Structure 1
Amino acid sequence: MMKKLLLAATVATLSLSAAHAAPTLYGKINLTLDQVDNSDFAGNNVTALNSNASRIGIKGEEKLTDNISVLYLAEWAISTDGSGSDTDLSARNRYLGLKFKDIGSLKAGKYDSYFKSAAGNNQDIFNDHTILDMTSVLHGEERLNNVIGFETDKNLIIPGLQFNIMSQQGEDTKTDNTTLGQEGKRNGFGDGISTSLSYDNKDYGLSAAIAGNFGVAGKYNAYSLSGIYSDAIRVTGSFDFSKYGVDGLVFGALWQNAKPTDDTVLTVSGTGTSAVTTTFKGLEEDAFSLTAAYVIPSTPWKIKGEYVESNTSVDSRSDRKISQYGLGVDYNLNKQARLYGVLAQQKRDWLASDDKKTVVGLGMEYNF
């Protein structure tokens, strides 16, 4: 009798263990050696080894019932070069949530805004590069704290159509954010909203999305302003010509507009009688990008090109334009690893001299 009880307990324990799916360990190491001429727009050059958004994380999905599963993900930055923009083991995306079969997923934590994720790799060929990522040119590339988001299943209504909405809680009972573009305090539910509607149709090679931010903090590169609560709209799309006889050719495009939620942005420098107040009445940014990528058939080579531009206006001042254009070449060793090179230049048209920064880089990326 005792042996039977022990056998039954062992079988039950093994069954329980088997029911729990193991988490997936994943990550990416991305390193480049970059020669940057006029790196600070003040005539100085630098040779730098850059860790381009290298990361490590765990993720998983655990079935609770036939219709509900738990989702989780936790991701950290890896400073592969030991310095620079990637603070070692700093928080990247992370969330805990529930997935409802054939309906959608509810997530809570810190992760990329739906405005940001509406632009895929076909709209930003230098994505993750420390210097050339389009976040250095245009508004809206934020990862948001304290958010609750819902993502519909891509087959809920029409195959390939997905709606996403994210609510951000400001959790601040003391600060008046008027000078940062949003009047009053951010102390309630939905102080910021990020949303997107996307459509993918692989049969036609089409991918498109429209996204909006409302009261979400972002930066305006032309004036070195950050944390400005803004309303923005983004439209993106890409077209794969493989379905029409041109294997490996993809075009991408993006357009967006951003401005403060309330037109109240100002900065104060200095203290006391020497304090200087600068207003940014009428602050607004229009931006777009155009990209092309071509995978040479039956070879490991891929050629990419991009042009991205932002135009920022403020009342009673001349507009400021940032433009960036460049080429990239990939050599895919396999599905996980690639060697690549980049050649790009960024121009800031309001500078009287040293208005161009040039980057030449060689790198390797490995995904696991």
Structure 2
Amino acid sequence: MKKLLLASAVAALSVSAANAAPTFYGKVFMTADYVDEELGNKSDDGVQINSNGSRLGLKGSEPLSANTDVIYQLEYAVDVDNDDDQTFKNRDTFLGVKNNTFGEFRVGHNQSTTDYINNVVVNEGYWDNLGTTKIKSEQKVAALNMADSGRISNSVVWQAPKIDGIPLQFAAMYANDDDISDDNNSGWGASLMYDQGQGFTAGVAYDDDVNLAGSLIRGTATLDLATFNSGFPVTLGGLYQEADYDYGDKKEKGYVISAQMGLTNFAKPATIYTQYNNTSNLDGVDGFDSSQIVVGGKYYYQKNMIAHAYIGQNDADNVVWVDKDGKRLSGNLGDGKVFAFGGGLEYKF
């Protein structure tokens, strides 16, 4: 009996120790990109070494009760080529609880719930540039796109529990503005995703004073054609979005259309993809428009070791810029164009 009790105690301690141990994870994604930039009468070109979404993180959970776990995550972006004098930047960093009945709560620095419905963007590396709505220097050239969801400080996220038989996932966010010296307001957002696991998804999201000073609404849908024909492994995606800036002249309106296809005639798994972006009234400025087309591919040497290659071009009309204090200046710098191709290696661990 004593031996049985001792064995049970050792087993319990082992489980507890296993639960307490965090998971260390990350990835390094480096590319070499040839970039040709033009803005008005200015131009520049050359090869760049870029770090793309490289990160390090710790995450884990610990039982609090029979139905509730404490969850935590510390994740930081790592600028491997260190071109901006800040090697580490905060990504999703939170402490929370997960309950079988009430769902999951996260408090800290969280990804906006608007991003929870985005499985449409397929661009990688240099062209993973959604969210660059304006340039911040008269001398700078940038591939410009619609507003994107970001990571929000001082935020609380609630993910509702999934209900058996109902293919919906609901999430909500509250973002607290604790700086009484500015005019910003606390914000909120919510998203709803439909995914029955049969090759079709649809989502809608809305936020106010979360990702921008104003409101943003986004809708997405994807369709896996292999569901209807196994010999045609193509997934199509579409995203439509409107951003209403408090300081804007017009609503920013944009859409994304994407397609990716798996290839079977290689020794290892591979995919090719294309994506078209179109945005009008960037940052709420009437006539400040952009379009972008990218074609690329991925080759999986192993599941965690992926080679990338891509080529694309972004064209922008009537480019404006903001000064160092964030004030949008009148007039424009002319039209801009960015052409780039490149590739690299992504390693996950």
Query: After TM superposition, is the score higher than 0.5?
Result: yes
Match of 2:238 among 250, 253, 261: 253
Map 1:1-368 onto structure 2 (within 5 A): 12=9, 15-20=12-17, 21=19, 22-38=21-37, 42-84=42-84, 87-120=86-119, 123-127=120-124, 129-136=125-132, 137-154=145-162, 156=163, 158-177=165-184, 186=185, 191-203=186-198, 205-218=199-212, 229-245=213-229, 246-260=231-245, 263=246, 265=247, 280=248, 282-297=249-264, 299=266, 300-312=269-281, 318-350=286-318, 355-368=336-349
Which has the bigger relative contact order, CA under 8 A and spacing at least 6?
Answer: 2
Structure 2 counterpart of 1:346, which letter?
N
Aligned counterparts of 1:119 and 1:132: Cα–Cα separation in 2: 13
Distance 1:65 1:34, change over 3 A: same
Aligned counterparts of 1:339 and 1:314: Cα–Cα separation in 2: 34
Aligned counterparts of 1:142 and 1:109: Cα–Cα separation in 2: 14
Contact between 1:148 and 1:166, CA under 8 Å: does it hold in 2?
yes
Query: CA deviation digits over 1:28-86, x for unaligned, max 9?
Result: 111110000016673111311100010010111222222111111110111212225x9
Aligned counterparts of 1:239 and 1:17: Cα–Cα separation in 2: 45
SS of the residue corresponding to residue 253 of structure 1 reads: strand
SS of the residue corresponding to residue 242 of structure 1 reads: helix
Distance 1:305 1:340, change over 3 A: same
Give the superposition deviation at 1:255: 0.1
Give the superposition deviation at 1:314: 8.9
Distance 1:46 1:328, change over 3 A: same
Distance 1:61 1:360, change over 3 A: same
SS of the residue corresponding to residue 216 of structure 1 reads: coil
Give the superposition deviation at 1:134: 1.8
Could you say what the CA RMSD is over the residues aligned between the two structures, in angstroms? 2.6
SS of the residue corresponding to residue 44 of structure 1 reads: strand
Contact between 1:194 and 1:216, CA under 8 Å: does it hold in 2?
yes
Structure 2 counterpart of 1:143, which letter?
R
Structure 2 counterpart of 1:108, which letter?
V
Give the superposition deviation at 1:347: 0.3
Other-structure match for 2:135:
none
Query: CA deviation digits over 1:125-184, x for unaligned, max 9?
Result: 125x35542223011321100001100123x2643311000001100122234xxxxxxx
Structure 2 counterpart of 1:248, which letter?
P
> TM-score with structure 2 length normalisation?
0.83
Contact between 2:282 and 2:289, CA under 8 Å: does it hold in 1?
no
Structure 2 counterpart of 1:174, which letter?
S
Aligned counterparts of 1:284 and 1:331: Cα–Cα separation in 2: 39
Gaps of 5+ in 1: 178-185, 219-228, 266-279
> TM-score with structure 1 length normalisation?
0.79
Contact between 1:32 and 1:50, CA under 8 Å: does it hold in 2?
yes
SS of the residue corresponding to residue 88 of structure 2 reads: coil
SS of the residue corresponding to residue 319 of structure 1 reads: coil
Of the structure 1 ranges 229-238 and 208-217, higher mean CA displacement relative to structure 2 is found in: 208-217
Contact between 1:43 and 1:354, CA under 8 Å: does it hold in 2?
no
Distance 1:26 1:40, change over 3 A: farther
Query: CA deviation digits over 1:178-204, x for unaligned, max 9?
Result: xxxxxxxx4xxxx1112100011222x
Give the superposition deviation at 1:303: 0.7
Distance 1:313 1:80, change over 3 A: closer
Aligned counterparts of 1:209 and 1:342: Cα–Cα separation in 2: 28
Aligned counterparts of 1:124 and 1:355: Cα–Cα separation in 2: 23
